[in-house]
Structure 1
Amino acid sequence: MRLDGRVVLVTGGSAGIGAAVVERLAAAGARVVVHGRNEGRAAAVADRVGGAVVLGDLAVPGAAAEVAREAVAVHGQVDVLVANAGAGWSGPFTELSGPELEHLVGLNLLAPLHLIRRLLPPMIERRSGHLALVGSIAGRTGVAGEAVYAATKGALDIFAESLRLELRDTGVGVSLTVPGVVDTGFFAARGRAYDRARPRPVPADRVARALVDGITNDRAESWVPRWLRVAPAVRGVAPGVYRRLSARFGEQVQSR
């Protein structure tokens, strides 16, 4: 897909990976609609690229439909959705409150599905479009202390795979970007900072580059960094060995 002139909605576009994606899309000639919860931060990103802003807390029931409606109203259509907005939570599952659980599932999983449900039919009618989802290595391997986050990303992963098959020959592509540890504010926001020496966090722009490449070249999935593919491969081929290594070296680390 050529991005020049295409209308792209980026959720969670006011910071981190989302802001880096906005910059790269604009550089490729796309007309970007920046979604965020904080008007000032979203506007600052949009102003840098001449984009538009839509606001909304996607964890709130019904908000995704309103964000989709407002995004379409900006230019009359949305050609590409980048479903990037997400959140984490760190700690034992038994300490996760009901409202926190609802927030994670609502934002990380239900919101992308509701956005796609609204934006996909016109793409199919035009026989052109792309859905770019942001997953996580946690969704492929599991993470101690991150059970619900990993579950939402794992569900998003298999949703992308299923929808890709469903949309074959429609002209609408589906891509999944699978990042590892990324140098953003994600870890501080989840309540526990990233304190490991390895693997080193990768820049948000590196993930953005892979994501945009996935759109333009219709790649099913992109891993950042690429060596992350080893972990789920070992888990699939030798699950016993994988679990022993995980127990020995500690919890796996998740993305963003």
Structure 2
Amino acid sequence: MRLDGRVALVTGGSAGIGAAVVDRLAAAGARVVVHGRDEQRAAAVAERVGGAVVLGDLAVPGVAVEVAGAALAIHGQIDVLIANAGAGWSGPFTELSGAELEHLVGLNLLAPLQLVRSLLPPMVDRGSGHVALVGSIAGRTGVAGEAVYAATKAALDVFAESLRLELRDTGVGVSLTVPGVVDTGFFAARGRPYDRARPRPVPADRVARALVDGITNDRAESWVPRWLRVAPAVRGVAPGVYRRLSARFGEQVHGR
């Protein structure tokens, strides 16, 4: 897909990976609609690329549909959806409140599904478009202390694969970006900062570059960094060995 002149909606576009994706899309000639919860931050990102802003808390039921409608109203169509907004939570599953559980599932999983449901039909009718989803290595390997986050990303992973098969020959592409540890505010926001010496967090722009490349070249999935593919491969081929190593070395290499 050529991005020049295309209209792209980036959720969670006011910071981190989302803001880096906005910059990359704008540099490729796309007209970008920046979604965020914080009006000032979203407006600052949109202003530097000449984009538009839509606001809304995607964790709240019904807001994803409202955000999709507001984005459509700006330019009349959305050619590319980048469902990037997400959050984490760190701690024992037994300490996770019901409200926080609903927040994670609502933001990380239900909101992307609702956005796709709202924006996909016109893409199929036009025979052109792209849905870009942001997963996590946690969705492929599982992570102690982040069971719900990992579950939402695993579900998004399977959704991407299923939707890709469903949309074959429609002209609409589906891509999944699978990042590991990324240098953003994600870890601080989840309640526990990333404190490992290795692997070192990768810059958000590196993830954005892979994501945009996935759109323009219709790649099914992109891993950042690429060596992360080893962990789920070991899990699939030798699950017993993988689990013993996981128990020995503790927290898995993951993040976003």
Class of the TM-score when normalised by the shorter of the 2 chains: over 0.9
Report the Cα distance in structure 1 between the residues aligned to 2:24 and 2:118, rounded to whole angstroms.
25
Q: What are the within-5 Å matches in structure 2 for residues 99-110 of structure 1?
A: 99-110=99-110
Name the counterpart of 1:139: 139
Q: CA RMSD in A?
A: 0.4
Q: Which runs of 5+ in 2 are unaligned?
A: none
Name the counterpart of 1:91: 91
Amino acid at match of 2:164: R
Deviation at 1:254, TM superposition (A): 2.2
1:33 match: secondary structure? strand
Amino acid at match of 1:147: A
Name the counterpart of 1:66: 66
Matched, 1:22 2:22: yes
Tell me the TM-score normalized by structure 1: 1.00
Report the Cα distance in structure 2 between the residues aligned to 1:120 and 1:18, rounded to whole angstroms.
20
Q: What are the within-5 Å matches in structure 2 for residues 53-202 of structure 1?
A: 53-202=53-202
Amino acid at match of 2:9: L
Report the Cα distance in structure 2 between the residues aligned to 1:142 and 1:228, rounded to whole angstroms.
13
Write out per-residue CA displacement over residues 189-239 of structure 1, whole angstroms, 9 at most, x where no aligned residue.
000000000111000000000000000000000000000000000000000
Report the Cα distance in structure 1 between the residues aligned to 2:255 and 2:174, rounded to whole angstroms.
20
Q: Percent identity?
A: 90
Report the Cα distance in structure 1 between the residues aligned to 2:162 and 2:254, rounded to whole angstroms.
23
Q: Which runs of 5+ in 1 are unaligned?
A: none
Report the Cα distance in structure 2 between the residues aligned to 1:174 and 1:26, rounded to whole angstroms.
20
Write out per-residue CA displacement over residues 143-194 of structure 1, whole angstroms, 9 at most, x where no aligned residue.
0000000000000000000000000000000000000000000000000000
Q: Which runs of 4+ in 1 moved over 6 A?
A: none
Amino acid at match of 1:125: D
Write out per-residue CA displacement over residues 19-72 of structure 1, whole angstroms, 9 at most, x where no aligned residue.
000000000000000000000000000000000000000000000000000000
Deviation at 1:255, TM superposition (A): 1.6
Report the Cα distance in structure 2 between the residues aligned to 1:251 and 1:80, rounded to whole angstroms.
34
Name the counterpart of 2:246: 246
Tell me the TM-score normalized by structure 2: 1.00
2:114 match: secondary structure? helix
Report the Cα distance in structure 1 between the residues aligned to 2:251 and 2:241, rounded to whole angstroms.
15
Amino acid at match of 2:49: V
Deviation at 1:251, TM superposition (A): 1.6
Report the Cα distance in structure 2 between the residues aligned to 1:169 and 1:22, rounded to whole angstroms.
28
Equivalenced residues, count: 256
Amino acid at match of 2:90: S
